[in-house]
Amino acid sequence: MELEGVRYKASEGQLGRVMAIRLLPRTDLTEGIKKICEDYGVQHGFISCSMGSLQKATFMVTQPKPEAKMKVGYTDPIEVPGPVEFLGGHGWIGESEDGGRLIHFHGIVTDQTGKSYGGHFVEGGNRSLLTIDLIIIELKGVRLVRKYDDEVGLIELDFLK
Protein backbone atom coordinates (compact mmCIF):
# COMPACT_ATOMS: atom_id res chain seq x y z
CA MET A 1 0.00 0.00 0.00
CA GLU A 2 1.40 3.39 -1.02
CA LEU A 3 1.43 5.98 1.80
CA GLU A 4 0.33 9.46 0.81
CA GLY A 5 0.40 12.87 2.41
CA VAL A 6 2.74 14.44 4.89
CA ARG A 7 3.55 12.22 7.86
CA TYR A 8 5.95 13.01 10.70
CA LYS A 9 6.79 12.67 14.37
CA ALA A 10 7.95 15.66 16.39
CA SER A 11 8.49 16.88 19.90
CA GLU A 12 9.03 20.44 21.05
CA GLY A 13 11.83 21.42 23.42
CA GLN A 14 14.16 24.32 24.13
CA LEU A 15 17.77 25.15 23.39
CA GLY A 16 20.21 24.71 26.24
CA ARG A 17 23.91 25.54 26.22
CA VAL A 18 25.94 26.12 23.06
CA MET A 19 29.52 24.85 23.07
CA ALA A 20 32.29 25.68 20.58
CA ILE A 21 34.84 22.86 20.46
CA ARG A 22 38.09 21.96 18.75
CA LEU A 23 38.98 18.28 18.79
CA LEU A 24 42.75 18.02 19.01
CA PRO A 25 44.99 15.78 16.85
CA ARG A 26 44.44 11.99 17.12
CA THR A 27 41.00 12.36 18.76
CA ASP A 28 38.25 10.26 17.21
CA LEU A 29 35.25 12.37 16.18
CA THR A 30 32.56 10.22 17.83
CA GLU A 31 34.59 9.30 20.90
CA GLY A 32 35.53 12.97 21.39
CA ILE A 33 31.90 14.10 21.20
CA LYS A 34 30.88 11.38 23.69
CA LYS A 35 33.58 12.48 26.15
CA ILE A 36 32.56 16.14 25.89
CA CYS A 37 28.92 15.16 26.52
CA GLU A 38 29.95 13.14 29.58
CA ASP A 39 32.12 15.96 30.93
CA TYR A 40 29.43 18.62 30.42
CA GLY A 41 26.36 16.47 31.17
CA VAL A 42 24.81 16.85 27.72
CA GLN A 43 22.14 14.19 27.23
CA HIS A 44 20.50 15.33 23.99
CA GLY A 45 21.61 17.78 21.34
CA PHE A 46 22.60 18.73 17.83
CA ILE A 47 26.13 18.65 16.41
CA SER A 48 27.40 20.84 13.60
CA CYS A 49 30.97 20.42 12.35
CA SER A 50 32.34 23.10 10.07
CA MET A 51 35.73 21.73 9.04
CA GLY A 52 38.85 19.77 9.86
CA SER A 53 41.12 17.00 8.68
CA LEU A 54 41.20 13.28 9.39
CA GLN A 55 43.91 10.63 9.41
CA LYS A 56 41.41 8.51 7.44
CA ALA A 57 37.63 8.43 7.08
CA THR A 58 35.42 5.46 7.92
CA PHE A 59 31.70 5.56 7.16
CA MET A 60 28.72 3.57 5.88
CA VAL A 61 26.16 4.43 3.22
CA THR A 62 22.75 3.05 2.34
CA GLN A 63 22.44 0.28 -0.19
CA PRO A 64 19.68 -1.91 -1.56
CA LYS A 65 18.89 -4.88 0.69
CA PRO A 66 16.10 -6.96 -0.88
CA GLU A 67 15.62 -9.00 2.32
CA ALA A 68 14.96 -5.90 4.47
CA LYS A 69 11.42 -4.67 5.12
CA MET A 70 12.03 -1.36 3.31
CA LYS A 71 14.53 -2.97 0.88
CA VAL A 72 17.43 -0.79 2.13
CA GLY A 73 20.18 -0.98 4.76
CA TYR A 74 23.77 0.12 5.50
CA THR A 75 26.92 -1.16 3.81
CA ASP A 76 29.86 -2.56 5.70
CA PRO A 77 32.27 0.22 6.74
CA ILE A 78 34.01 1.99 3.84
CA GLU A 79 37.47 3.40 4.51
CA VAL A 80 39.09 6.32 2.67
CA PRO A 81 42.83 6.45 3.39
CA GLY A 82 44.21 9.74 4.59
CA PRO A 83 44.96 12.36 4.89
CA VAL A 84 41.43 13.52 4.10
CA GLU A 85 39.90 16.96 4.30
CA PHE A 86 36.76 17.04 6.47
CA LEU A 87 34.30 19.40 4.77
CA GLY A 88 31.63 19.26 7.44
CA GLY A 89 28.76 17.30 8.87
CA HIS A 90 25.83 17.18 11.22
CA GLY A 91 24.48 14.81 13.77
CA TRP A 92 22.63 14.38 17.01
CA ILE A 93 23.30 13.31 20.57
CA GLY A 94 20.73 10.99 22.08
CA GLU A 95 20.20 7.62 23.65
CA SER A 96 19.48 4.00 22.83
CA GLU A 97 16.38 2.26 24.14
CA ASP A 98 18.44 0.97 27.09
CA GLY A 99 19.53 4.53 27.99
CA GLY A 100 23.09 4.41 26.62
CA ARG A 101 24.48 7.55 24.97
CA LEU A 102 24.46 7.59 21.16
CA ILE A 103 26.14 9.88 18.67
CA HIS A 104 24.67 9.68 15.16
CA PHE A 105 26.78 11.62 12.68
CA HIS A 106 26.90 12.07 8.90
CA GLY A 107 29.61 13.99 7.10
CA ILE A 108 31.47 14.71 3.88
CA VAL A 109 35.20 14.33 3.20
CA THR A 110 37.52 14.68 0.19
CA ASP A 111 40.56 12.61 -0.57
CA GLN A 112 43.90 13.90 -1.92
CA THR A 113 42.48 14.01 -5.48
CA GLY A 114 39.43 16.09 -4.48
CA LYS A 115 36.98 13.19 -4.81
CA SER A 116 34.15 13.57 -2.27
CA TYR A 117 32.69 10.89 -0.06
CA GLY A 118 30.01 10.98 2.57
CA GLY A 119 27.86 8.91 4.84
CA HIS A 120 27.27 7.76 8.39
CA PHE A 121 30.59 8.02 10.26
CA VAL A 122 31.71 4.90 12.17
CA GLU A 123 32.84 5.30 15.78
CA GLY A 124 36.58 4.75 16.22
CA GLY A 125 37.40 5.21 12.53
CA ASN A 126 37.70 8.99 12.18
CA ARG A 127 40.68 10.39 14.08
CA SER A 128 41.52 14.06 13.76
CA LEU A 129 44.69 14.86 11.85
CA LEU A 130 45.07 18.58 12.71
CA THR A 131 41.67 19.69 13.99
CA ILE A 132 37.94 19.09 13.92
CA ASP A 133 35.94 22.23 14.69
CA LEU A 134 32.40 21.73 15.92
CA ILE A 135 29.46 23.21 17.77
CA ILE A 136 27.23 21.28 20.18
CA ILE A 137 23.77 22.72 20.82
CA GLU A 138 22.12 21.15 23.86
CA LEU A 139 18.40 20.32 23.68
CA LYS A 140 16.19 20.51 26.77
CA GLY A 141 12.70 19.11 27.25
CA VAL A 142 12.95 16.53 24.47
CA ARG A 143 14.63 13.12 24.35
CA LEU A 144 16.18 11.80 21.14
CA VAL A 145 15.90 8.01 21.35
CA ARG A 146 16.85 5.37 18.77
CA LYS A 147 14.42 2.49 18.93
CA TYR A 148 12.94 -0.16 16.70
CA ASP A 149 10.35 1.19 14.25
CA ASP A 150 8.03 -1.62 13.16
CA GLU A 151 6.86 0.27 10.06
CA VAL A 152 10.34 0.37 8.50
CA GLY A 153 11.84 -2.66 10.28
CA LEU A 154 14.92 -0.75 11.50
CA ILE A 155 16.14 1.13 14.55
CA GLU A 156 15.21 4.78 13.96
CA LEU A 157 15.05 8.08 15.81
CA ASP A 158 12.02 8.81 17.99
CA PHE A 159 11.25 11.92 20.01
CA LEU A 160 10.06 11.55 23.58
CA LYS A 161 9.27 14.00 26.39
pLDDT digits (tens, 9 = 90+) for 102-119: 999 999 999 999 999 999
Torsion sign across C-alpha atoms 40, 141, 146, 133: negative
Class of domain 14-55+84-111+122-141: alpha beta
- The residue among 113, 51, 119, 106 whose CA lies nearest residue 79 is 119
pLDDT digits (tens, 9 = 90+) for 7-26: 888 888 899 999 999 999 99
With a cut of 70, say whether residue 2 has pLDDT above it: no
Whole-prediction pTM: 0.88
**Domain ranges (residues) in the chain:** 14-55+84-111+122-141
Distances from the Cα of 1 to the Cα of 4, 65, 142, angstroms = 10, 20, 32
- Residue predicted with more confidence, 64 or 122: 122
Under the banding of pLDDT at 50, 70 and 90, the label for residue 89 is very high
pLDDT of residue 25: 98
